[in-house]
A and B are shown apart, each in its own frame.
Chain A
Amino acid sequence: MDIFIQQIINGLVLGSIYALVALGYTMVYGILGLINFAHGEVVMIGALTALTAIGLLVPSGLPGPVVVLGGLLIAIPVCMAVGFSIERIAYRPLRNAPRLAPLITAIGVSIVLQQLAMMGWGRNYHTFPAILPTTPHQVFGAAITDLQILIVVTAAVLMSALLWLITRTRLGRAMRATSENPAVARLMGVDVDRVIAITFVLGSALAAVAGVMVAANYSIAHYAMGFMLGLKAFTAAVLGGIGNVGGAMLGGLLLGIIESLGAGYIGDLTGGFLGSHYQDVFAFFVLILVLVFRPSGLMGEKVAERA
């Protein structure tokens, strides 16, 4: 039983990170109908910026958590600026172009950001300094560290705040209006360009937080880390129903837990026929099953109209 609880905890931590990144994909898709493939790279830039800042702050002798918070507070505006620039440079000029064009620029931006990061930070793995306590707590026989608790809680708080922003504020209403129909929203006095820019900036801020979480939890960051993470988060967004904010959260958490349980039990379930190298297969198998029965994802309802 303690092993099962441990696997659920592993899945929750992983899933919280997926969910935060998935939000960035789903927000942009919901409003623009565009898959922002550069989003994974924004996460990477957040992680590396934070690591650099943390490296500079460590000698100051401040306590570990304060240093990490400092790194986060530097990474967030940097990522916001990157997200804003991406939208301004690569997507806005193509707003009315055929659908394929912004998809290509998205992939292009992703490659450019990765190469720039490689030039700036080098090809090596960057390691997170050992400033946070790694001694785990025991919960029902399962181990969880302070950092992991913090990751799950922070992700939950940020996701709730985002839901509140979208459903309860003026800005949220403008975002929803733009999502439904940009042309009509514009006629109703919504500054569509501004709403789109804010969407990118918000998504990038969440990406920065996710980046710092990844770097802190796995203690490493490197220029190519965004690709796989982005792919998984994109999968999570599709699983939950892309374009749906609640769906991204659910999809992220589910994907994390499925992966974790899959890796842990697939060997026992199949009598050793499939091993933990089918971890990803297991996750994508579930995705296919969901899409067969619910083509718009678990919580996606309105996707068909937009697509």
Chain B
Amino acid sequence: MTQPFPSRPLPALLVLSACLLAACGEQSDTAPSAAPVAGEPSMEAPLVVRLGHVAPLTGPQAHLGKDNENGARLAIDDLNAEGFQIGDKRARFELLGEDDQADPRQGTTVAQKLADSRVNAVIGHLNSGTTIPASRIYHDAGIVQVSPSATNPQYTRQGYAGAFRVFADDVQQGGALGAFAMKNLNARRIAIIDDRTAYGQGLADEFEKAAKAAGAEIVTREYTTDKATDFASILTKVKSTSADLLFYGGMDTQAGPMARQLKTLNLGIPMLFGDGGCTVEFHKLAGEGAEGHYCSLPGVPLDKMAGGTAFRDRYKAKFNTDIQLYAPYAYDAVRVVAEAMRKAGSTDRMKFLPELEQINYPGLTAQIAFDEKGDIKNGAVTLYQAKSGAWSPLETVGGDATP
């Protein structure tokens, strides 16, 4: 691990960053303060904005983590290409991508690392389970954090001024799922499985509340982990309760195989899950077992986002892979932070944080404005059904259906 930066005057930091960029490594502190960056025609040194990004880049959820990072990277490349100005200076954005392995302990370790290297803001983390413990470290270090995908309500309810999310939380999503289960799926006996993570358990709890309030009976509550692949025994347990709907709180890497095993166990009930399973990957993992299941995703379908299809094409062209899930939200998280900095004319947290609280930015995924907790206002939730290998949108509830 690198030595933590002591607090330095800006020019010294610039030299250091420029040095890192040009991989020179031999310049001393006595170098001129306006060290030109290789390939930069402008005489004036750009204002370097360093954004941390954290998501699982290894382990079962690596595909989602990489997707987030790609979304953030695309935003940063766009900002640099646009010649984005902060104050009267041209800004050069840098991404410090870290891997938290979706593990809360690793999450706090990399959060400390980013805090020590004094990044201007953090985009992340992906999972609620890593976001919540890390948010304390960012709060203590005075770093603004915008999560593109953490949905556990607790994240923004700790009283941390600098914690934001651009994604509807579990209360909104769980409520929409509970209402959908009763109204559209006509479920009366519901079995719930969750993966014991802050996300999975949190969403399952909110769903349970909403479903119970709507009059459904929760016939069993079973548990797995976010690394499991074998669900035969808990699904057999579900079978014994003659449930008419299975709700899963967790990610696609479990939801997919679970849907497949549901089929091989001859359990002809539909599955319903939240954003974590609402991915392209789910269809691959579930194979023939994917058909007919339901999921929800905060926000509106990509096709209905302003510029959503263009974003998808640019993403595909740049990274040569399809968007998994949260990339547009990670893109927005970066853009909204940059916008607040532009408005404040500064990368200083004290200056741009009030702007971020007040922001009203036409993002890709929604019109982004935050409430007093730091949650996105009017978060929409869209429900989808798996039809012939793709998610087909059913209905959007709440929020502004057309941003």
Binding site for B on A (CB under 8 A): 3, 6-7, 10-11, 13-14, 118, 123-125, 127-130, 134, 136, 138, 143, 145, 148, 214, 218-220, 222, 224-225, 228, 259-264, 267, 275-277, 279
Contact = CB atoms under 8 A, between A and B. Distances in A.
A264 B227 contact: no
B372 to A, nearest CB: 36
Contacts of B236: 3, 6-7, 10, 260, 264
A219 B287 contact: yes
Contacts of B402: none
A6 B260 CA distance: 16
A37 to B, nearest CB: 18
B265 interface: yes
B223 A275 contact: yes
Interface in B334-386: none
Given A118-B58, A134-B263, 16 more contacts: A11-B233, A123-B57, A124-B63, A125-B281, A125-B285, A127-B285, A134-B289, A138-B266, A218-B229, A219-B285, A263-B234, A264-B234, A264-B237, A277-B223, A277-B224, A277-B225
B77 interface: no
Residue in B63, B220, B234, B263 whose Cβ sees the most chain A Cβ within 10 Å: B234
Interface of B: 57-60, 62-63, 66, 196, 220-225, 227, 229-230, 232-234, 236-237, 239-240, 253, 256-257, 260-261, 263-266, 281, 284-289
A13 B60 CA distance: 23
A113 to B, nearest CB: 15
Contacts of A14: 230, 232
A123 B62 contact: yes
A132 B324 CA distance: 27
B232 A134 contact: no
A220 B229 contact: yes
Nearest to B267: A143
A136 B266 contact: yes
A294 to B, nearest CB: 26
A222 B265 contact: no
A136 B196 CA distance: 30
B279 to A, nearest CB: 11
A145 B287 contact: no
B239 A3 contact: yes
5 nearest A-B pairs in the assembled complex, by CB-CB distance: A123-B62, A277-B223, A10-B232, A263-B233, A143-B266
B204 to A, nearest CB: 12
Nearest to A228: B227
Contact of B224 (A11, A118, A276): A276
B233 A7 contact: yes
A147 B262 CA distance: 15
A214 B228 CA distance: 12
Nearest to B321: A124
Given A123-B62, A127-B287, A228-B227, A10 B266 contact: no
Contacts of A138: 266
Nearest to B194: A277
Nearest to A13: B232
B287 A130 contact: yes
Contacts of B232: 10, 13-14, 260
Contacts of B256: 125, 127, 219-220
A264 B257 CA distance: 18
Given A3-B236, A219-B257, A260-B233, A136 B221 contact: no
